[in-house]
Structure 1
Amino acid sequence: KRPSSFLRILPSYSTGPITARDEIEPPRISIDPEYTQTLVVNAGDNFKIDADVHGKPLPSIHWLKGEQELGNTIHREIKNTPTKAYISIKESKLSDGGQYTLLLKNPGGEKATQINVVVLDKPGEPQGPLVVTGIAKDHCSLAWKPPLQDGGSKISHYIVERRETSRLVWTVVDPKVKNICLKVNKLLEGDEYIFRVHAVNQFGVGPPLESAPVLIKDPYVLPGSPKNVEVSNVKKDSMVLSWEAPSEDGGSPITGYIIEKHDKEGVRWTRCNRQTVTDLTFKVTGLLETHIYEFRVAAENAVGVGEPS
């Protein structure tokens, strides 16, 4: 008999799970060198941006403008294929200018490139708000900021207009303002106005920035009445008056006080001080002994004389 054969099985050691994996290549973009320069387009013209796309696996393709991802609209068409990124804009306008970003993503990473587009057009509206200050009875001052979009051409000047809120017609205040501020004169006290400003470049006049309605009135009023008029140091032909300043100066500093007296036997009030009195006290002289007097004090500012005490 032949002896039996024995097969000895030795334990094998596991390598752990092995996954078959395709080679990964991070995204790459091949783009025409013309797009590394600013792309300049006339308003109304069409333009496109395209690029070849590489990577393993083939990356997803995203078009952004600023932070916002773009989609299709009536004027914008995105026609990407697995290996090509493509965006086209029809009848371009000012708002189509700006920085476009082509962004690719795959498991190997991300790749982005920026393309700057300038649309040559009339400028955008000036930046608001249109601030109205220094309001007086016949004038005010306006201030604004340049437009964010100059239309690819330097702003040459601004056109400032006004209209009364009760009317529809706009009137040109100044057709060629070089600065970003203007004093507007010859306004009617008590009327309410709206102002607007257009930016102008070599391609034309842009849309306007409007102000809120503004009432034209003198910001200053007459001062209030002096308070607590008191008499002291009474002599046979004189006495001393003192008082406190009014609590309201009418928005304009008190320039002085007017002191008047009234003899009980007479009818009229007569002024006591020929010179301006700026102190809060005044010695009245030339009084008649045994006569009874009343006194009053009025404050004066740039607007005029207020009500007496």
Structure 2
Amino acid sequence: SQLEVAAPAGAASASTTVTGLTNGEPVTFTVVAVNEAGESPKSAQTPAVRPAGLPGAPTAVSATPGSHQAVLTWHAPSSDGGAEIVEYIVTASSSEIPPTRVPATSLAATIRGLMNDDPVCFTVAAVNHVGAGRASEASEMVTPVGPPATAPGAPSSVSASAKDGAALVKWQAPAETGGAVVTGYIVTASPGGATAEINDGPDATEVVVAGLQNGASYTFTVKAVNRAGVSAESTASNNVRPAGPPQPPVAVT
């Protein structure tokens, strides 16, 4: 088909933008000059060019979790925008995972460096020479999981300091996590068995144990918890004796 476009005259060289073309279909151009006497012969024909836009979104993105990784597959977009797709960009829902670039010859990728027990999903965008197209719908949420976990090792370096009717207990996280994230700790006072639980992850390594009797002597042990179970008790802390403020003097003369 032939499309005529009028361009303003008057300059030694001129240009114009031709719209209404179909992306992906090659097109050539000729130019004629026009004055009051008529039209010039056509110019030489330009080399063929192929208009293009951004590619469409990939479809059917699927993720299969492994240990610290996920394997993704997807389908190519129904439209390449009129230009060859040169790569895909895989983006994880976690901002800590950098985007992964995948050659256009592949419709799969293994995304490594994921945190076990941390759910994540993915989107994929196709790229041609114009740029990156719209991202796909997100994959299902998956959770990387390592080999079967065991209970963690016992915490270490347990220490205690006295407070009024309570004690501040501190410890170090276990060196052996059992292959799973430590999710919390259980602190137990002896005697009496008063406990305090904390479920803020492996780095939350201190807690106040309340409900203690001022003047009594206590030690404390700590257990670590992960998804597989509870560790053995730590070695007991030092002895502490909770105490409140002294009573005011009486019968002052």
TM-score bucket of the superposed structures, by smaller chain = 0.3 to 0.5
Given the two structures, how large is their TM-score scaled by the length of structure 1?
0.36
Give the number of the structure with larger relative contact order, counting CA–CA contacts within 8 Å between residues 6 or more apart: 2
TM-score (norm 2): 0.42
